[in-house]
Amino acid sequence: MGFMVVIPARYDSARLPGKPLLAIAGKPMLQRVWEQASMSSAARIVIATDDQRIATLAQSFGAELCMTRKDHASGTDRLQEVAVQLALPSDQILVNVQGDEPLIPPQVIDQVAQNLENNSDAGVATLIEPIESLEDFLNPNVVKVARDYRNFALNFSRAPMPWPRDDFGAAEKHFSNRSLAVRHIGLYAYKVGTLNQFVGWPRCDIEHLERLEQLRFIYNGVNIHVDMAACTVPPGVDTDADLQRVRAMIDTPLTH
């Protein structure tokens, strides 16, 4: 049984409405995400949406579609509905590829799915990359990860961690030992059985405080496997500035 990719795609984005439909080098963003996922080893790729405009677009380039409810609090909840609609078995692995990641490398999709398959004690797998700058280390929008000797996550936080006491205890701040400073990449593989548990758990206090839903898994005793990404993962598209950056990276004329 091969792994599946699910691409949640919403029309309503506070910072960039209609984001999945926006063109990048003559193709809608969502199509580019789907094409990147299609180059992975996934046995099946499903686009999950609650918007008919996105559904029509997905069908136009031949994607499999799953219409979901509008009231989901997160993409994780939307994934679980897809699993229910498709009657997927509890050991099926789903990789959540966000609909605003038009440059996501196929190899990291394969990597996170394989990591989950290889670690039977984990219910979730995700990826990390090194933090290279003090600015990113202190940035609350960069989510930091601490892990144990098995590469299971101990914690996710927007706060700088682990805290380099000796570097930051002096009047002049340093960032000399960066080996433990890693940032989270928002690419997940889940087992369907774990997703089914997730939607039945209430939001925990630490999840609510940090606004990080993955903390609900740790709070409820689910191991999250973390691994250094096999290659650089370009940032996704959250704002118009991000969109222009991705268009420039593809190095083609702007189209609308």
CATH of the domain at 22: 3.90.550.10
Cα-only R_g, the chain: 18
Q: Does residue 117 lie within any of the structural domains?
A: no
Q: Is residue 247 part of a domain?
A: yes
Four-residue CA torsion sign, 124, 129, 135, 137: positive
Look at residue 19 and tell me if it is in a domain: yes
For the residues 192-211, what does the mean pLDDT come to?
94
Q: In this structure, is residue 13 part of a structural domain?
A: yes
Does 144 map to a domain? no
- The model's pLDDT over 217-252, given as tens digits with 9 standing for 90+, comes to 999 999 999 999 999 898 888 888 888 888 888 765
Confidence band (pLDDT; 50, 70, 90) for 148? very high
**Does residue 46 sit within a domain?**
yes
Range of the domain at 27: 1-104+237-256
Q: Number of folded domains in the chain?
A: 1
Give the pLDDT of residue 171. Answer: 60
Distance CA 28, CA 58 (A): 10
| Position 169 in a domain | no
Beta partners for 119?
Answer: none
Examine residue 134 and state whether it is found in any structural domain, yes or no.
Answer: no
* pTM for this prediction: 0.90
pLDDT at 256: 43
